[in-house]
A and B are shown apart, each in its own frame.
Chain A
Amino acid sequence: MSWFLPPGVSTYAADIDRLYYIILVITGVVFILTEALLIYFLIRYRKRDGGRAEYSHGNTKAEVIWTAIPFVIVVALGLMSKGLWDEVKDPAHLPTDGYEIAVSARQFEWEARYPGSDGTLGTDADFTTVNRIHVPVNRPVVIHLTAEDVIHSFSVYDFRVKQDAVPGMTIRFWFEVTEPGEYELGCAELCGFGHYSMGGTVIVLSEPEFQAWEAERIALHEGSTRQVAAAQPDEEDQ
Chain B
Amino acid sequence: MSAHVKATDFEITGFAGEPHDPPGFIRTYIFSTDHKMIAKQFLLMSLVFLLLGGTLALVIRWQLGFPGSPLPGGGVLPETMAPGGIILPEFYNSLVTMHGTFMIFFAIMPLLVGVFGNLLIPLQIGAPDMAFPKLNALSFWLAVPAGFIMLASFAVEGGAAGAGWTSYAPLSASGEYTGVYLGQQLWLVSLFILGFSSITGAVNYITTVITMRAPGMTWFRLPLTVWALFVTALLALLAMPILAGALILLLADQTIGTTFFLPATGGEPLLWQHLFWFFGHPEVYILILPSFGIVSEVLSNGARKPIFGYHAMVLAIIAIAFLGWIVWGHHMFMSGMNPMLGTTFMLTTVVIAVPSAIKVFNWLGTLWRANIHFHVPFLHSVAFVSLFIIGGLSGIFMASAPVDIQIHDTYFIVAHLHYVLFGGSLFGIFAGIIYWYPKMFGRMMNRTMGYIHFAGTFVFYNLAFFPMHNLGLQGMMRRLYDPNQYEYLAPLQGMNTFISYSVFALFAFQLLFAVNFLSSLRFGKKAEKNPWNANSLEWSVASPPPHGNFHGWPTVYRGPFEYSVPGRDQDFHPQWEPPDGEVAPRMAGSPAPEPTGFSTGAHEEEES
Direct contact of A and B (CB under 8 A): yes
With an 8 Å Cβ cutoff, the count of chain B residues facing the other chain is 97
Q: Is the interface of A mostly helix, strand, loop or mixed?
A: mixed
- Name the segment of B238-246, B516-524, B548-556, B560-568 touching the other chain: B560-568
| Mask of A16-36 contacts with B, CB within 8 angstroms, 1/0 | 100110011011001100110
Which chain A residues border B478 with CB–CB below 8 Å? Answer: 188, 190
What's the least CB distance linking B90 to chain A, in Å? Answer: 4
Q: Are B386 and A35 in contact (CB under 8 A)?
A: yes
A90 to B, closest residue via Cβ: B339
When the two chains form their complex, are residues A41 and B269 in contact, meaning their CB atoms are under 8 A apart? Answer: no
User: Could you say which residues of chain A place their CB within 8 Å of the CB of B47?
Assistant: none
CA distance A164 to B334 in the complex (A): 6
Q: Nearest chain-B residue to A26 (Cβ)?
A: B396
Which listed residue, A16, A31, A169, touches B389 by the CB 8 Å rule?
A: A31
- Assembly CA distance A141 to B146 (angstroms): 50
Contact between B402 and A189, CB atoms less than 8 A apart: no
CB distance from A85 to the nearest CB of B (A): 5
Partner of A91, one of B309, B339, B351, B467: B339
B370 at the interface (CB under 8 A from A): yes
Q: B residues within 8 A CB of A35?
A: 386, 389
- What separation, in Å, do the CA atoms of A149 and B170 have in the docked complex? 8
| A45 B371 Cβ-Cβ under 8 A | yes
A49 nearest CB neighbor, chain B only: B371
In chain A, positions 1-25 with a C-beta closer than 8 Å to chain B are 1-6, 15-16, 19-20, 23-24
CB pair B382–A38 under 8 Å, yes or no, is yes
A85 lies within 8 A of B269 (CB) = no
Least Cβ distance of B380 to chain A in Å? 14
B178 pairs with A193, CB closer than 8 A: yes
Q: Give complex CA distance A228, B372 in Å.
A: 74
**Are B397 and A186 in contact, with the CB atoms below 8 A?**
no
Which chain B residues border A194 with CB–CB below 8 Å?
A: 89
Known: A67-B354, A74-B350, A167-B263. A38 touches B481 (CB 8 A): no
A74–B487 contact, CB under 8 A? Answer: no
**Which residues of chain A are near B403, meaning CB under 8 Å?**
16, 19-20, 23, 81
Which of B181-189, B193-201, B298-306, B528-536 is found at the contact surface with chain A? B298-306
B-contact 0/1 string along A134-161, CB 8 Å cutoff: 0000000000000001110101010011
- Contact B402–A57 (Cβ < 8 Å): no
CB-CB under 8 A for A63 and B177, given A27-B396, A51-B371, A160-B405: no
B303 and A27 contacting across the interface, CB-CB below 8 Å: no
Residues of chain A in range 32-89 having any CB-CB distance to chain B below 8 Å: 34-35, 37-38, 41-42, 45-48, 51-60, 62-63, 66-67, 70-71, 74-75, 77-78, 80-82, 84-86, 88-89
Q: Is B142 an interface residue (CB 8 A)?
A: no
Residues of A within 8 A of B409 (CB): 153, 155, 162, 188-189
Q: B334 near A163 (CB under 8 angstroms)?
A: yes
For A187, the closest partner residue in chain B by CB is: B477
Chain A residue at minimum C-beta to C-beta distance from B89: A193
A168 touches B (CB below 8 Å): yes
Q: Which residues of A contact B326 (CB under 8 A)?
A: none
Provided the pairs A41-B368, A168-B268, A197-B485 are in contact, do residues A88 and B402 lie with their beta carbons within 8 angstroms?
A: yes
For the complex, is B400 an interface residue (Cβ under 8 Å from A)?
A: yes
A189 to B346, CA, bound (A): 21
CA distance A19 to B268 in the complex (A): 33
B30 within 8 A of A: no
Q: Does A191 contact B (CB under 8 A)?
A: yes
Q: Whose C-beta in chain B lies nearest to the C-beta of A50?
A: B371
**How far does the alpha carbon of A2 sit from the alpha carbon of B336 in the complex, in Å?**
31
- B275-318 contact mask (Cβ, 8 Å, vs A): 1 or 0: 00000000000000000000000000001111011101000000
Assembly CA distance A160 to B303 (angstroms): 47
- Contact check, A77 vs B479: say whether CB atoms are below 8 A apart: no
Closest beta carbon of chain A to B431's beta carbon, Å: 15
- B306 contacts which of A1, A57, A85, A184 (Cβ < 8 Å)? A57
A213 interface hit (Cβ, 8 Å) = no
Do A162 and B406 touch (CB < 8 A)?
A: yes
**Residues of chain A at interface, number, CB under 8 A:** 87
Q: Which of B244-278 contact A (CB under 8 A)?
A: 263-264, 267-270
In the complex the two chains form, is B473's CB within 8 Å of A3's CB? yes
**Known: A16-B402, A56-B306, A196-B480. Is A42-B382 also a contact (CB below 8 A)?**
yes
Instruction: Closest A residue to B179 by CB, please name it.
Output: A193
Report the bound CA distance from A16 to B397 in whole Å: 11
**B357 within 8 A of partner (CB):** yes
- Interface pair A150/B374, CB less than 8 Å apart: no
Rounded to whole angstroms, the CA-CA distance of A204 and B389 in the bound complex is: 41
In the assembled complex, which residues on chain B have CB atoms less than 8 Å from the CB atom of A5? 406, 473
Q: Are B406 and A54 touching (Cβ within 8 A)?
A: no
**Complex formed: what's the CA distance from A168 to B269 in Å?**
8
Asked if A27 and B397 sit within 8 Å, CB to CB, the answer is yes
A sample of 8 cross-chain residue pairs with beta-carbon separation below 8 angstroms, ordered by A number, consists of: A3-B473, A19-B400, A47-B373, A54-B370, A166-B269, A188-B409, A192-B171, A199-B485
Cβ-closest 9 pairs across A and B: A168-B263, A58-B309, A157-B475, A53-B305, A54-B369, A196-B481, A74-B350, A193-B90, A89-B339
Other than A52-B571, A53-B571, A71-B351, give 9 A-B pairs with Cβ distance below 8 A: A27-B396, A37-B364, A38-B367, A45-B368, A47-B372, A67-B354, A85-B339, A155-B475, A171-B336
Which residues of chain B have a CB within 8 Å of any CB of chain A? Answer: 88-90, 93, 162-164, 168, 170-171, 177-179, 263-264, 267-270, 303-306, 308-310, 312, 334-336, 339-340, 342-343, 346-347, 350-351, 353-354, 357-358, 360-362, 364-365, 367-374, 382, 385-386, 389-390, 393-394, 396-397, 399-403, 405-406, 408-410, 467, 470, 473-475, 477-483, 485-488, 495, 561, 563-566, 571
